[in-house]
Amino acid sequence: MLFFDCATAPNPRRARMIIAEKGLEIETREVSIAKGEQLAADFLAINPRGTLPVLVTEAGQALTETVAIAAYLEDLHPEPPLMGQGAEEKAAVLNWNAVIEQQGGQPITDVFRNSHPAMKGRSLPGPQNYEQLSDLAERGRARVAEFFDMLETRLQQSPFIATDRFTLADISCFAMIEFARVSKLRIPEDNRATLTWYEHIRKRPSASV
């Protein structure tokens, strides 16, 4: 296997955390988004979408989506189970992971890509250039606030997001919340359940990768 990583981006961090939780050592190549290396011809030959992460499987398939990478590694290395055990848990993990991506990850990304100076002319990932839209950044901030409220409600009911133990949904949420700090978006001080969860995840060895 071969893993294409980017140290500064949230989705590669999700994949790194999965790899770390599984205790795996996979050959890794760093691709700098800041330097535009994801748009180089040799990388686009591997992933024409120009996005990261990418895991090239043992059979040579290039997996470009984090959930696909998680599913592949889970099948090869089922312990610890990060995608649930049994129909109910597996469904819960995939359901909550999608909620986290859509209601948290997307608006956090919208704020960053449509307001950060480094993303000028690069409001969307991939080989095409798109100008920033300030309205998307403003809407993103409002949606992030709603996301934090939803997350607090959930974590008042459960110590982890999808089930009663650590899963892919927690990895996704943690990586996105960490990335949100680049745009000065942080967990509200009154959201005690979320802060408790966050500190718990932050102490895991995989959180330092």
Supply 63's token pair.
Answer: 């997996």
Two structure tokens written together for 40 = 């180089």
CB 69 within 8 A of CB 15: yes
Tell me the pLDDT tens digit for each residue of 131-178: 999 999 999 999 999 999 999 999 999 999 999 999 999 999 999 999
Segment 184-203 mean pLDDT? 98
The per-residue pLDDT for range 17-36, each reduced to its tens digit, is: 999 999 999 999 999 999 99
pLDDT of res. 194: 98
- pLDDT, tens digit, 9 for 90 and up, residues 49-85: 999 999 999 999 999 999 999 999 999 999 999 999 9
Kindly give, in sequence order, each residue whose CB lies less than 8 Å from that of residue 9, ignoring residues fewer than 6 positions away.
Answer: 33, 52, 179
The confidence score (pLDDT) of residue 146 equals: 98
The contacts of residue 8 (CB under 8 Å, 6+ apart) are: 33, 34
What's the rounded Cα separation, in Å, for the pair 187 and 178? Answer: 10
What pLDDT is attached to residue 117?
96
Q: Please check whether residue 130 is in contact with residue 58, taking contact to mean a CB–CB distance below 8 angstroms.
A: no
Element (H, E) at 72: helix 66-76
Q: Identify the pLDDT of residue 60.
A: 97
State the pLDDT at residue 102: 98
Residue 160 dihedral angles phi and psi, to the nearest 5°:
-130, 170
- Residue 112 to residue 115: CA distance in whole angstroms: 6
- In angstroms, the CA 181 to CA 155 distance is 20
Burial 47-59 (b: 16+ CB within 10 A, else e): beebbbbbbbeee
The CA-based angle 7-11-83, given to 5 degrees, is 125
Q: DSSP string spanning 108-143?
A: HHHHHHHH-GGGTTBSSSSSS-B---HHHHHHHHHH
Q: Please give the structure tokens belonging to residue 195.
A: 């802060």
Q: How many CB atoms lie within 10 A of CB 23?
A: 11
Chain segment 95-133, per-residue pLDDT in tens? 999 999 999 999 999 999 999 999 999 999 999 999 999
pLDDT at 135 (0 to 100): 98
